[in-house]
Amino acid sequence: MKEIIASKIEKLKSEIEKFFENDEVSLDVAESYFVQRIGETVRGLLTACYEQKDAELLADKVGRKEAGLVVERRGDVRHVVTQLGVVSYHRTYYASHSGGYCYPIDQVVGLESYQRVSSGVGLGLVESAREMSYAKASRVVTGGLVTKQTVMRKIRDAHPAVEPVLRKKVAVLHVDADEDHVKLQTGDSRIVPLVNVYEGIERNGKRGVCKNVFHCSEFGKKTEDLWEEVLTEMERRYDLTDTKIYLHGDGAAWIKQGLEWLPNSVFVLDRYHINKALKGTVSGIERKSGCQYEYHLRQALNEGDRDYFCSVRDSLLARWPEREKTILENSNYLLGNFDAIHIYNTDQEARKGGATEPHVSHVLSSRLSSRPMGWSPKTLKKFVPILAAGQCTFRAKDEKESPSSTKQQKHTPPKIPTSTLGLPHPDMVVSMPAKQGKVTQLFRLLNTLCK
């Protein structure tokens, strides 16, 4: 192996010297040149290393006998898509005395039988898919070497990353709750809830920024389970003993249910929906009269005067009886959340939150519903928490529990001692995936006869 390394490095050295002999050494040209050649060198070294270790195992008849491995087939090629390109290496296929078949070198490399992309490439695909389509994510990360289905499968294998935090005490927390309407592949629309928790809004010039915000969201989860998850995450980050919590939203039943879970909490109707209902109450009315009635309705809400509000509404109904349905629908909505609106004038802290629509737009809608597309419930269930968390990870335990690997667990071949192969995990060098051939009916028949 030392000779191979020396040969590869010597070749790379000569190419570097040749490059600097030219007059054109601009950064763009250098970047393209060196990325390609360094990638080729590393891929070549990995190929040589893995094939040498496979050959060492093949030659170690005593070690194979102790491990219960019998050569079944030689020279099977595995193509691995990495962040440096495609790594290919030949390996030997073994039958185990305990039953089943395996590629021992794949176990040492750290690849599952049906794993097609490495952890590094997989994370890149999922992170890119948060911002763009599956096809574009494949082009950006791998140059189109993997399919859209592979990107989707990596999303389903991923989990939201848990951010390590230091628990602290704060006087006030603001919680925004709203939902996005996402279209499924069946043509139906489903609601995806989103809960955002932050310590208030800070001003950066004219722009407001939510301080230390985090998001919780999951598709298909029961309301009580969602709020339990929100409370658990809040308690992981904060000591809520003396914290005042302001829950902002549009007044939907699932949002108000959060008051039952969040301690010392009050509900605040989102300003967007207040303005929308006020405009709806006077819509269709001549502009001058509509503005006057809207002013009086808003004044009644600010002063907390229900009687005045009802008298203005009754005046509207008397003058425009043909608009009774619209006037009653919007005014009753405001009356039903009267205290949640008046709180803006009795509690100044309530004004320091309420950004439900921007959160839904930036976290969910920009990827799930802003363009014509249909989602599968299975993908949404895995993808929505990743969008909310903003980052993801892969767990080895869950990959082993996949249907493809469950079949292989019936006959687990013994692991090859690390002293025999002595190869580090590939993610310490470069991320890697793999390619696996089909299991045909003929293969199954012959496999049965050989047992």
Where is pLDDT greater, at 225 or 437? 225
Pair (361, 443) in one structural domain: no
Pair (194, 326) in one structural domain: yes
Q: Decide: 60 and 420 in contact? Cβ < 8 Å.
A: yes
Where is pLDDT greater, at 363 or 112? 363
Q: Is the pLDDT of residue 284 over 50?
A: yes
Q: Which residue matches tokens 């601009």?
A: 26
DSSP secondary structure, 182-237, as one string: EEBTTS-EEEEEEEEEES-EEEETTEEEETT-EEE--TT--HHHHHHHHHHHHHHH
| φ and ψ at residue 149, rounded to 5 degrees | -65, -35
Total-model pTM: 0.76
Residue 395 lies in a domain: no
Pair (322, 180) in one structural domain: yes
Closest CA to 92 of 71, 63, 61: 71
Q: Is the pLDDT of residue 51 over 50?
A: yes
Pair (86, 56) in one structural domain: yes
Pair (187, 303) in one structural domain: yes
Residue 356 pLDDT level (bands cut at 50, 70, 90):
confident
pLDDT of residue 87: 86
pLDDT of residue 441: 45
Residue 393 lies in a domain: no
Q: Is the pLDDT of residue 439 over 60?
A: no
Q: Is the pLDDT of residue 140 over 70?
A: yes
**Which tens digits make up the pLDDT trace of 324-339?**
999 999 999 999 999 9
Residue 168 pLDDT level (bands cut at 50, 70, 90):
very high
| Choice among 101-110, 114-123, 428-437 with the minimum mean pLDDT | 428-437
Average pLDDT over residues 106-119: 82
Q: Is the pLDDT of residue 296 over 90?
A: yes
Residue 99 pLDDT level (bands cut at 50, 70, 90):
confident
pLDDT of residue 194: 95
The single-letter DSSP state of residue 406 is H
pLDDT of residue 425: 44
Instruction: Return mean pLDDT, the chain.
Output: 84
Residue 424 pLDDT level (bands cut at 50, 70, 90):
very low
Q: Across the strands, what pairs with 176?
A: 196, 248
Q: For the chain, how many residues are written?
A: 451
**Which tens digits make up the pLDDT trace of 79-88?**
888 888 888 8
Residue 208 pLDDT level (bands cut at 50, 70, 90):
confident
Most confident of 127-136, 392-401, 417-426: 127-136
Q: Across the strands, what pairs with 321?
A: none
Percent of the chain with pLDDT over 70: 87
Final residue of a structural domain among 338, 362, 388: 388
Q: How many domains does the chain have?
A: 3
The single-letter DSSP state of residue 410 is G
Pair (154, 223) in one structural domain: no
Residue 394 lies in a domain: no
| Choice among 140-144, 298-302, 366-370, 445-449 with the minimum mean pLDDT | 445-449
pLDDT of residue 409: 40
Type of residue numbered 197: V
Residue 429 pLDDT level (bands cut at 50, 70, 90):
very low
DSSP secondary structure, 293-358, as one string: HHHHHHHHHHHT-HHHHHHHHHHHHHH-GGGHHHHHHHHHHHHHTHHHHHHHHH-GGGGG---HHH
Pair (330, 442) in one structural domain: no
Pair (281, 152) in one structural domain: no
Pair (109, 62) in one structural domain: yes
Q: Is the pLDDT of residue 1 over 70?
A: yes
Pair (420, 446) in one structural domain: yes
Q: Which domain holds residue 79?
A: 2-114+402-450
Q: Is the pLDDT of residue 421 over 60?
A: no
Residue 243 lies in a domain: yes
The stretches of 26-164 forming alpha helices (DSSP H) are 27-59, 61-67, 104-109, 119-129, 134-142, 148-157
Residue 396 pLDDT level (bands cut at 50, 70, 90):
low
Q: Decide: 84 and 42 in contact? Cβ < 8 Å.
A: yes
**Which tens digits make up the pLDDT trace of 174-206?**
999 999 999 999 889 999 999 999 999 888 887
Q: Is the pLDDT of residue 308 over 90?
A: yes
Residue 72 lies in a domain: yes
- Return the SS3 of 283: coil
Residue 362 lies in a domain: yes
Q: Is the pLDDT of residue 218 over 60?
A: yes
Final residue of a structural domain among 341, 361, 388: 388
Average pLDDT over residues 34-39: 82
Q: Which residue matches tokens 């019998």?
A: 70
* Six token digits for residue 214: 């985090």
Where is pLDDT greater, at 352 or 422? 352
The single-letter DSSP state of residue 423 is -
Pair (153, 182) in one structural domain: no
Cα–Cα separations (whole angstroms), residue 65 to 91, 240, 422? 18, 61, 19
Pair (87, 225) in one structural domain: no
Angstrom distance (rounded) from CA 46 to CA 65: 27
